[in-house]
Amino acid sequence: MMISKRELKEEYEKLIKEYSLRIDSNETKFADSYLEKALHNLELAGVLELLSKNDEIKKNIGISTKSEYHDWIIITSYYAMYLAATSALAKLGIKSSTHRSSIIALEYRYCIEKNLLNRKYIDMIENASFGRDDIQKIDQALKGRVSVQYTVSQKYGINEAKRILKDAREFVNKISEII
């Protein structure tokens, strides 16, 4: 469930005070590198998807044809989204110390307070149709990543992996357009 604009602003300001978010102009020099790493993770998620469904490749590299990597597709897809978000924040000179604060900062700065950005960034955001729904995608991917990475009882299948990979591709592409 999304929080109100007022609650989002309060949460953002609280994270700044708690130092979970820092304003640091030096961070801007890392924006492109974060985006490159996001694209690298997205590429790996695609490779894992291909590997999961291709028995011939599995045989050629000596792994069981029963092997599927849906959990790692979810994990790498999430990290692609997270690194793209980190890139967008770095572009604004913001450093985040937690995944949740990154999501709050991204939504607040790019979706609510976008009028604080230079006109060229506003145009990029509008052209990319970037909005709160996109933030929900990274939030859902975070929950999926936590479930598959830290539990053994939950089994995620191909549909969940495909959905999160699709969302990651769309999210990273939108962030690429913005920055």
Q: Identify the pLDDT of residue 179.
A: 79
* Whole-angstrom Cα Rg for the chain: 17
Look at residue 98 and tell me if it is in a domain.
Answer: yes
b/e code 69-106 from CB counts within 10 Å (16+ = b): bbbbbbbbbbbbbbbbbbbbbbbbebbbeebebbbbbb
Q: Identify the pLDDT of residue 151.
A: 64
Q: Identify the pLDDT of residue 118.
A: 34
Query: Can you tell me which residue has the tokens 């572009």?
Result: 91
* Residue ranges making up the domain that contains 159: 26-178
Closest CA to 102 of 15, 32, 174, 43: 15
Q: Identify the pLDDT of residue 4.
A: 79
Look at residue 89 and tell me if it is in a domain.
Answer: yes
Contact 143, 164 (CB under 8 A): no
pTM, to two decimals: 0.79
Look at residue 5 and tell me if it is in a domain.
Answer: no
CATH number, position 33 = 1.20.120.330
Contact 58, 33 (CB under 8 A): no
- Segments of the chain with pLDDT less than 50: 1, 115-130
Q: Identify the pLDDT of residue 130.
A: 44
Q: What is the DSSP letter of 129?
A: T
pLDDT by residue (tens digit) across 147-164? 666 666 556 677 888 888
Look at residue 145 and tell me if it is in a domain.
Answer: yes
Count of the separate structural domains present in the chain: 1
Q: Identify the pLDDT of residue 156.
A: 62
Closest CA to 107 of 90, 126, 88: 88
HSE, side-chain direction, 13 A CA sphere, residue 59: 3
